[in-house]
Amino acid sequence: MRRPSRPEPADRPDPIGTPARRAALRLLTAVLQQGKPLEVALDNAFAEVDRPADRALARAIVATVLRRLPDLDALIDSAMPKPLPDDARARMVLRLALAQVLILGTPPHAAIGTALPLVDKGPRRLVHGVLSRLLREEAALPEQPTLPNPYAERWSAAYGAHTAGRIAATLATEPPTDLSFRTAEDATAHAEALEGASLAPAHVRTARRGAIGDWPGFADGAWWVQDLAASLPARLLGDVSGKTVVDLCAAPGGKTLQLAAAGAKVTAVDIAEKRIARLKENLTRTGLKAEVVTADARHWTPPGAIDHVLLDAPCSASGIFRRHPDVLHLKGSRNLAPLLELQAELLDHAAGWLPAHGHLIYCVCSLEPEEGERQVEAFLSRYDNFRLDPIKAEELPAGLEPWHEGWVRTLPSDLPEQGGLDGFFIARLARK
Ligand SMILES: C[S@@+](CC[C@H](N)C(=O)[O-])C[C@H]1O[C@@H](n2cnc3c(N)ncnc32)[C@H](O)[C@@H]1O
């Protein structure tokens, strides 16, 4: 009697969990090959995935790969006689499978079983062979994550090799979530329900995970997600109650909400319509008020007198790699020249609006001194009617200090016991 023939790989049903891995492959390819930011690539990558759990899993796998990409690639290369091209489908699939087994704790049979359908009619054997060999040999990632270049070199040059190593170490774990509240009392009232702790007035930090929309207080608009470092620029304007403040480059509105909650008359300006839509949603959800303008800030001018400007300039975003590890791999964020020009243009334009003693807060979520320290030095050399208004230690949360020049430079390795901080540069400039 003849035995039935073994089904071809393409005829076998996909194991449970394969749709999430297919979505992960689309997402990883969009970031690494097409250079799309993760947030932008999500819609397309998830078009055929309906289950929120599959979407969440796909996103978690891709974020994990992006955190540990140089180390995963080194392992893959160690198991190959000849390196695979960087953008080869087999390399993408191997990255996804290894990240699941070695970091996320997925059982090897599940990671391999859901990886192979992604390379049907392709390098299935090769992928199977490399994965089996690495897992048989109990391959492991180095404890200390490796920063990709050019960041490893840039941050060693800027902050020293030891600090660059501490910054790299923050890639090993997912950061906690920071929430900003309207008032310090609101934060205290919600801290327990959110299983969090307050590191500054109107702030709660929580290690909670999962759908943020389900957390206590979200639907009531009691808080918004905002890294503690990102909340410092608005705090450093001091008492803004009744003041007219222009929040330049404002969307999705974290700083607008803080300023409005503090009683300022805020005009929020941003060029990006989609991001402005999110800012408006945030205002509606929190019940806070601001004038919202969609415009290129290089050509817009406030219609009347103002007191202060907060400029959260577009930048490489390299300081937020803990939450957005794609920034470390996007070619656009590596090329600083167009961003440096835009930041200087925005500073020059805003400088003309301020009255005597008005403040211009300049900040970027970047770890590149060219976008922060050097940008402000160059501004001060162009404008002798501005001075740096030094930030004092007592204006900052415990554990943070201004640098001796008087500006604030936060690093992801700051506040290590409490779970770190995004990298920000903040300077307070005062019109003389
Ligand atoms: C760092 S993000 C702002 C984050 C925001 N301040 C917050 O706290 O939620 C930079 C913003 O600059 C905006 N942007 C870039 N170029 C601009 C321009 N020429 N005019 C106005 N906004 C611009 C981007 O759309 C982006 O929303």
Task: Give burial (CB, 10 Å; 0-12/13-18/19+) of 219.
Answer: exposed
d(CA 323, CA 154) in angstroms, rounded, equals 20
Ligand 1 atom closest to Cα of residue 312: 6
Does the annotation place 348 within a ligand binding site? no
Q: Return per-residue pLDDT of the chain as tens, 432 residues.
A: 445 555 555 566 778 889 999 999 999 999 999 999 999 999 999 998 889 999 999 999 999 999 999 999 999 999 998 999 999 999 999 999 999 999 999 999 999 999 999 998 889 999 999 999 999 999 999 999 999 999 999 999 999 999 999 999 999 999 999 999 999 999 999 999 999 999 999 999 999 998 899 999 999 999 999 999 999 999 999 999 999 999 999 999 999 999 999 999 999 999 999 999 999 999 999 999 999 999 999 999 999 999 999 999 999 999 999 999 999 998 766 789 999 999 999 999 999 999 999 999 999 999 999 999 999 999 999 999 999 999 999 999 999 999 999 999 999 999 999 999 999 999 999 999
Structure tokens at 313: 């300039």
Ligand 1 atom closest to Cα of residue 269: 21
Does the annotation place 312 within a ligand binding site? yes
d(CA 343, CA 336) in angstroms, rounded, equals 10
Residues in the chain: 432
Structure tokens at 150: 């050019």
Confidence (pLDDT) at 10: 54
d(CA 141, CA 74) in angstroms, rounded, equals 9
Domains 9-136 and 229-431 share a fold: no
Among 40, 269, 270, 315, residue to substitute to test ligand 1 (most atoms within 8 Å of Cβ): 270
> Which among 365, 421, 426, 429 is annotated as catalytic?
365
Domain at 229-431: CATH code: 3.40.50.150
Confidence (pLDDT) at 1: 44
The Å distance, Cα 218 to ligand 1 centre, comes to 24
Confidence (pLDDT) at 54: 93
pTM: 0.93
Structure tokens at 125: 């054997």
Confidence (pLDDT) at 5: 52
Does the annotation place 247 within a ligand binding site? no
d(CA 226, CA 230) in angstroms, rounded, equals 6
Among 224, 235, 249, 259, residue to substitute to test ligand 1 (most atoms within 8 Å of Cβ): 249
Give the residue ranges of DSSP H helices in 79-223: 89-99, 108-115, 124-136, 151-159, 161-169, 184-191
Q: Pairing relation of β-strands 177-181 and 223-225?
A: antiparallel
Among 246, 247, 271, 301, residue to substitute to test ligand 1 (most atoms within 8 Å of Cβ): 271
Catalytic-residue membership of 363: no
* Torsion from C-alpha of 316, 322, 325, 330, nearest 10 degrees: 10
Q: Helix, strand or coil for residue 220?
A: coil
Confidence (pLDDT) at 235: 98
Structure tokens at 140: 């492991």
Domain locations in the chain as residue ranges: 9-136, 147-172, 178-225, 229-431
Ligand 1 atom closest to Cα of residue 253: 9
Task: Name the fold adopted by 9-136.
Answer: N-utilizing Substance Protein B Homolog; Chain A (1.10.940)
How far apart, in Å, are the Cα atoms of 343 and each of 179, 254, 338? 28, 20, 9
Q: Using a 6 Å CB cutoff, which residues line ligand 1?
A: 249-255, 269-272, 275, 296-298, 312, 314, 365
Residue nearest ligand 1's atom 18 by CA: 296
Ligand 1 atom closest to Cα of residue 230: 8
